[in-house]
Structure 1
Amino acid sequence: MYVLLREFEGRPAATAGRGKDPVNEAMIRHWCEAMGDAHPAYAGPDAVAPPAMLQAWTMGGLSGHADRSSAYDELLALLDGAGYRSVVATDCEQEYLRPLRPGDRITFDAVIESVSPRKTTKLGTGHFVTTRMDVQADGEPAGTHRFRILKYAPAGAPKREAAAGAGAQPAARRPRPVVNRDNRGFWDGVAEHRLLIQRCTGCGTLRFPWLPGCNACASPDWDTVEACGAGTVFSYVVMHHPPFPAFDPPYAVGLVELAEGVRMITNITGVPYDKVRIGMPVRLEFLRVDEDLELPVFRGSEG
């Protein structure tokens, strides 16, 4: 199996791809509003794009890119066929070579850089797939974006090779959250039905999601405040495709603005997906997904 996977290394995932839009002020503004980033460098006549937007200018949306190679889809299909049907994004690395400014035309090339040997993680057993995208702006190198996913069989779920002829498969479970030293306090709060927000003890800034340091003053010191549970839908999407195991599309995923002022991505429950609206009041509740996973979600009301 791994011999077949290694054959994909070095194959193009996209060749001579073109960004669907030039770098523009509207997308920069939307990004900064969503991220809560009011840095003056991102506005005005001499604006530059936030560096972390590097990938945003290359994204193809629902219609995709005409220049996309079939190799990446073939690789994922091979992993699916072997029973590694679950997927989680694990990390990305970006290198910035020059600022992007409104009017820059973006082109890119992407390659399947590596496929790992089979690895066993807390989520399950599978293979890490890394792609590298080289981004150009008006023909000049602008940056490199590496993106890594894990295609895996959830822990306790038999892979196809081992389960052939074994009859019905157990129901798929949602991916497990990655709990580490930086966010363990958040998940400890969830276990107690408390939604905890980090607060910098240096400048008092609230932050969510949890981070190891303050993005306002860089202090590493923090404590927590408990959210009151009230919020409103700041933005949302309705997921139709692609379908994932343990999820039943269509369903609404919302960016909820908490009464405390921070925002979090969560499921919207209690109303049909097509009744969710921006500005809708929502209320915190805790959803038992399975025997050992409970998640904070927000319930809306059609009234």
Structure 2
Amino acid sequence: MTTVPRSPAAGLQGSRCPSCSVVVHPADEVCPRCGGPAEPAVLQGAGTLWTWTVQRYAPKSPPYQVPPGGFEPFAVGYVELAEGVRVAAVIEVDDFDRIRIGMPLTLTAGDGVPRARPTRTGEEES
């Protein structure tokens, strides 16, 4: 197994094919469309919610680790980025009833699964 070198820039890591321009997440060394070599790319963090659900039971361990306070249901979904790629993410909201397909979200990368939160006014261009 090989690993794709990460871009030195902070952000959500993906890859882009210089031959056919396809963008993927997570990063890969080979383009899934044309089979050519892919290059590391930092993806934009802004997107829209494509679909979602609520995880109401604890996932299997590993890799999931139950937090000290016990399991709490959480929202998960796919966020469609400007590059056209859909990224699975935990949706960070206080009220599941406020989640809407098509709502603007901001993705952040970190350890584990990307996280998405509702985009604040003025963040749309970042």
Asked if TM exceeds 0.5, the reply is yes
Looking at structure 2, the residues matched to 223 and 301 of structure 1 have their Cα atoms a distance apart, in angstroms, of 28
* Letter aligned with residue 20 of structure 2: C
CA contact (8 A) 2:12 2:109 kept: no
**2:14 aligned to which of 189, 193, 197:** 197
Structure 1 residues 273 and 181: alpha-carbon distance in aligned structure 2, compared to 1, 3 A threshold: farther
Q: Deviations over 1:4-54 (max 9, x none)?
A: xxxxxxxxxxxxxxxxxxxxxxxxxxxxxxxxxxxxxxxxxxxxxxxxxxx
Larger RCO of the pair (alpha carbons < 8 Å, separation 6+): 2
Equivalence for 2:23: 206
SS in 2 for 1:257: strand
Q: Does 1:300 align with 2:118?
A: yes
TM norm structure 1: 0.33
Looking at structure 2, the residues matched to 295 and 241 of structure 1 have their Cα atoms a distance apart, in angstroms, of 17
| Matched residues, number | 114
**2:91 aligned to which of 256, 265, 268:** 268
State the percentage of identical aligned residues.
Answer: 31
TM norm structure 2: 0.71
Q: Does 1:256 align with 2:79?
A: yes
SS in 1 for 2:97: helix
Aligned-CA RMSD value: 2.9
Q: Does 1:231 align with 2:47?
A: yes
CA contact (8 A) 2:50 2:102 kept: yes
SS in 2 for 1:231: strand
Looking at structure 2, the residues matched to 251 and 233 of structure 1 have their Cα atoms a distance apart, in angstroms, of 15
* Letter aligned with residue 267 of structure 1: V
* Letter aligned with residue 260 of structure 1: E
Shift of 1:257: 0.5
* Letter aligned with residue 87 of structure 2: M
Structure 1 residues 242 and 248: alpha-carbon distance in aligned structure 2, compared to 1, 3 A threshold: closer
Structure 1 residues 285 and 208: alpha-carbon distance in aligned structure 2, compared to 1, 3 A threshold: closer
Structure 1 gaps, min length 5: 1-179, 288-292
Equivalence for 2:124: none
* Letter aligned with residue 15 of structure 2: Q
Question: Whose Rg is larger?
Answer: 1
Shift of 1:277: 1.6
Matches within 5 A, 1:53-68: none
- Higher helix content, 1 or 2: 1
